[in-house]
Structures are given as structure tokens and as C-alpha cells.
Amino acid sequence: MGRRAKITVVGAGHVGEHVAMFCAIKELGDVVLIDIIEDMPQGKALDMYEATPLEGWDSKIVGTNDYKDTADSDVVVITAGLPRKPGMSRDELLDKNAGIIKSVTEQVVKYSPNCIIIMVTNPLDAMTQLAWAVSGFPKNRVLGQAGNLDSARFRAFVAMELGVSVKEICAMVLGGHGDDMVPLPRFTTVSGIPITELIPPDRIEAIVQRTRVGGGEIVKLLKTGSAYYAPALATTEMVEAILKDQKRIQPCAALCEGEYGINGVYCGVPCLLGANGVEKIIELKLTDDELKALQASAGRVKGLIDKLKEFGYIK
């Protein structure tokens, strides 16, 4: 019998704690929740573990402040970092979170040199690129969770529009995880029927726009934080695809080296996810407009990466 998979979640805020809980519910492996705040991850993990007898989930969950406890993890999910506050520029967030992500990645690599890293911290694509640069890992073992969440939002809005089950809907959203992401209606289907056959163009455009600002819509409603249920479950789905070697095609932030005319930049593209992480980037035949939008989105990510180089985080 092989050992159980080990999953570490770095950052025990709302997203991190829910990733830990969902991984335990799905019995994907044993979970370590780590945070710098003393005793907090221990308290949350103990509460979660005390819930396991009620539904009979056989996953151990422990909280810690010490990276030694994360040793030999198979998958490490990084959610640590600061959310953007009113009046704060993206560059300020970039600089602050870059420092956190750099030190987190160094600790992760020290104790789990063979793990696969899934980045969730914003600005997502740039932080994934930073983790890859700091880790020295091959590109297939460092990826970012964004497109999976954006596609889930797109699917939810299509279901609302048509009054059909969300189970029938497959969606594809590419590009950087920001307001310039690229939802693709042509590749979004309801039971195999493209939504372009089912929804008028003006309504599709409204749904695409709502998807782009989906995170902001929730921030505005909550007033004191950002989304966490859907981001956490989108991340858990990626963990599951990797640990169960499911060979699922999901949009992820992956390092493009020529695909879609994008070079040396992490950007949201369709990926085949399995035991080796990103096993393949799928190249869709895009229209000129779709390709331009995707390349423009990647260009904005490159701008953030150039800033990381200026700040000295990436050589």
C-alpha cells in the first residue's frame, strides 16, 4: 500500500482554510495548514478535524507555524499574501506580495523539493512566475489557479441566463487573471451546443463582461474582503486532477514558450492536468481578435514581471 498524498496549504485565511477543508472532504490526502499567525492555523485545523467523524472523511488535518511540518508534500497550494486595499496600486500589492511569495517559495522548496506548486495569490500570473523563478522547478510543476475560477463564474452566469443546470455547461476563459481576461463564447457549450447558438450576442457580451469583473462584483458586495468559496473549490479541483492523475483539461496559468505567440510569460491557457502537473498546453485555433486579446492580456502580465525584475525579485 502506498502512503496517502500530502497537501500543504500556505495561508490560513478564507481561501486557504476552505482549500484545506474541501481537500479533506474529498479525501484527496492528509492536509497541513500553515500560517505565520501563531496558533490560528492550529485552531482552524483542529476544528476541521473534529468535523471529520460527522461525515467520516478519512483525512488528517493539522495546523502549524513551522515549515518542517510540511516536509515531503506532494502538492503545495500558496494562498498567502495581502489583499488589495482601497487606494492601493497594483504595483504596491505586487511589491508587498512578492516579498511574501519569495520567502514562502524558498521554504516550500527546502522541505518539499519534489512537490507541485499551485499559486492562488494575486496578482496571480506574476506571482506564479515569481514562484517558478525562485523555486528552480521545471515549468510543469509550477502553475496558477485562475482560469478554473473564471470559467466557473462564466458557467454560473450562463446557467442563470438560460435557466439550465450548471452541470451541462463547459466554459473556457483564457488570459491573465484580471479585467482583461479572455472568455471564449465559441468554446463555451451547453450539452455540446455553443452558447452562440442559444444566447443573443448582446447578452453574451454582458455575461462576458460580468465574468471579467466577477471578483470585483463580490468585493463590492462584501465590502470587507474578497471571494473565497469558488476560488477555493476551483483550486481543490486542480489538486484533485493532479493527485488522481485525471488528465483533465482546465485553464491554468502556465508558462508559455511560444504557444499562442506568447514567450516566457505565465498566462491562462488550456492545460492537460495530471500527475506531472501541466502535462501539455492545448493550442486552440483562435480568431485574430481572440488571439490579439490573449496576447494583450499576456502583455500586461509581462509588465508586472518587468516590475518584479526592477524590484530585484526575479533575475
Of 1, 266, 8, nearest in space to 116 by CA: 8
Q: Which residues contact 167 (CB under 8 A, 6 or more apart)?
A: none
Instruction: Single out the catalytic residue among 44, 177, 212, 302.
Output: 177
Between CA 48 and CA 182 the distance in angstroms is 37
Between CA 228 and CA 15 the distance in angstroms is 5
Between CA 314 and CA 180 the distance in angstroms is 24
Cα dist from 39 to 33, 35, 79, 291, whole Å: 11, 9, 18, 48
Retrieve residue 167's grid coordinates. Answer: 452541470
21: left (phi over 0), alpha (psi -120 to 50) or beta: alpha
Judge whether 177 counts as a catalytic residue.
yes
Provide the annotated active-site residues. 177
